[in-house]
Amino acid sequence: MKNSVFYFVVGSQFLYGEETLVEIDKHSKIMVDGFNADKNIPCTVKWFPCVKTSEEIYDIMNRANNDDNCAGVITWMHTFSPSKMWVKGLMALRKPYLHLNTQFNREIPWNDIDMDFMNLNQSAHGDREHGYIAARLRLNRKVIVGYWQDEDFTAQMGVWMRAAVGAAESRKLRVLRISDNMRNVAVTEGDKVEALIKLGWSVDHYGVGDIISEVEKVTEEEIDAQMAEYEKEYIMDTENIEAVRYQAKEEVALKKFLDRGNFKAFHTNFEDLQGLRQLPGLASQDLMKKGYGFGAEGDWKVAAMTRIMKVMAQGIDKGTAFMEDYTLHLEKGGEMILGAHMLEVCPSIACEKPKIQVHPLGIGDREDPARLVFKAKKGSAIVVSLIDMGDRFRMIVNDIECQTQENDMPKLPVAGVLWKPLPDFKTSAAAWIYAGGAHHSVLSYDLTAEHMRDFAEIMGIEFVYINKDTKIPEFRRELEYNDVIWRNK
């Protein structure tokens, strides 16, 4: 996170004289030091001398574009900075863009305020001039308003920065497809060319045979080392060590294949395992824990989103996992969703030390796979789905409350999480279904809808949000409006 740098570009002009410009740079240095010391700011803010001309602005925006470590640009108008000189630079900018509306001085010094003070505290009108040109240029941006030292202000900055870091990851992401989508399934499909154009994802297919030849090359020593890791991280709750060793073998092979191709996310497909003896269960789970994105049944979109959200969540570490709406609990007034998957839920969300168990799998027609079994933690979270509407990508986010799981499920050996969606089960499920949200999602305790809204804004994709205030008639109307808006974009 700290390697991701944000350029702090402060606007002014020559009108106020040299002394004022020196003072502006002093102020902005203090602010940058403040941001970098703030626990809410996960990344690095980089100071620059204030900009006064179209050439300086164009130059710094191009530097931002060409600096691989630069994850975004933050602007703030300390003084009035005429916006015609921002047009060329802002039109060239290809990095995420945040505009702060704040002021170096918190309060008006009633007894001392004079014209010199005014010349040094002009954000009130300077930031509005700046806002106009961004609005006129229809730039994707975030505006944060308030006093720059306030907790809520820097917290919002931190959220946006995480989204920008996610965008940077998205734009270089390689996704490994092992086989194709599950036959006949619609929602896991999508336009991979559009995903490359819009989201930056290279989604490449390899045959299962390529993975099998990698599995065959894994040595006994490599399996031993992987088994030692499993023993350390998890409880070995099976006699069938041979089955666990086979997952270790698959994990070593998959990791090599991923790293060699610089893939950060992958999917499997249980319908197409060929000579693989087990569907990768424990292997996929442990790779997710290491930060790789994963999707089942050929779902490359959820695999990519799992990776991106894990990158956005770095350092928070409450847990982010591939998820599926598994089955419903329709007790009147106590409705809940059990989220799980047949094997592949990330152990980062566990509330207990996961157990390695080996059980038969009804589908896939292979040997019994080893998997991690655990209950997930209690707490607030979100579920996120990305779908292809044919003419655009739509992101759907729902706030959820994960519950303590009172009941054991001795005959369902999966990793599971039990949640109540907001505002209530009926509204949430209806809204999700009207919006076309998938049965696969990414569940995160680390991120909020605000992170995802900022990410969607940066990437230029549709965002809909199901939350405590959602009402079905208004939500449906929003979907209808969005259809018109996005067809004209």
Contacts with Mn ion by CB under 5 A lie at: 296-297, 324
Residue 343 CB, nearest approach to Mn ion (Å): 10
List 397's β-bridge partners, or say none: 384, 465
Q: Give the residue with the Cβ less far from Mn ion, 43 or 176.
A: 176
Rounded CA-CA distance 50/327 in Å is 57
Judged by CB, which is closer to Mn ion: 295, or 421?
Answer: 295
Nearest distance from C-beta of residue 324 to Mn ion, angstroms: 5
Q: Which helix (H) or strand (E) holds 353?
A: none
CA distance 396 to 453: 10
Closest C-alpha among 251, 324, 247, 276 to residue 179: 276
CB neighbours of residue 475 within 10 Å: 20
Q: Cα 168–169–175 angle (5° rounding)?
A: 140
Closest distance of CB 38 from Mn ion, Å: 40
Cβ closest to Mn ion, residue 302 vs residue 395: 302
Q: Which is nearer to Mn ion, 279 or 464 (CB)?
A: 279
Q: Shortest Cβ distance from residue 268 to Mn ion (Å)?
A: 11
Query: Minimum Å distance from CB 123 to Mn ion?
Result: 50
Judging by beta carbons within 10 Å of its beta carbon (0-12, 13-18, 19+), is residue 217 exposed, middle or buried? exposed
Eight-class DSSP state of 349:
G
Q: For residue 294, give both structure tokens.
A: 């994963």
Indicate the helix (H) or strand (E) that contains 265.
strand 265-267
Which of 136, 140, 156 has the alpha carbon at shortest distance from 148?
Answer: 156
Query: For the purposes of burial, counting CB atoms within 10 Å of the CB of 474, is it exposed (0-12), middle (13-18) or buried (19 or more)?
Result: exposed
Closest CB to Mn ion among 296 and 452? Answer: 296
Q: Which is nearer to Mn ion, 188 or 428 (CB)?
A: 188
Nearest to 122 by CA among 35, 8, 34, 12: 12
Looking at the chain, the number of H-run helices and the number of E-run strands are 15, 19
The residue (of 271 and 368) whose beta carbon lies closer to Mn ion is 271
Considering the complex, what minimum distance in angstroms separates the CB of residue 339 from Mn ion? 11
* Prior bond of 423 cis (ω within 30°): yes
Residue pair 371/343 in contact by the 8 Å Cβ criterion = yes
**Which residue, 297 or 450, is less far from Mn ion as judged by CB?**
297
Measured from the CB atom, the residue of 148 and 266 that comes closer to Mn ion is: 266
Give CA 485 to chain center in angstroms: 24
**Is-contact 440 299, C-beta < 8 A?**
yes
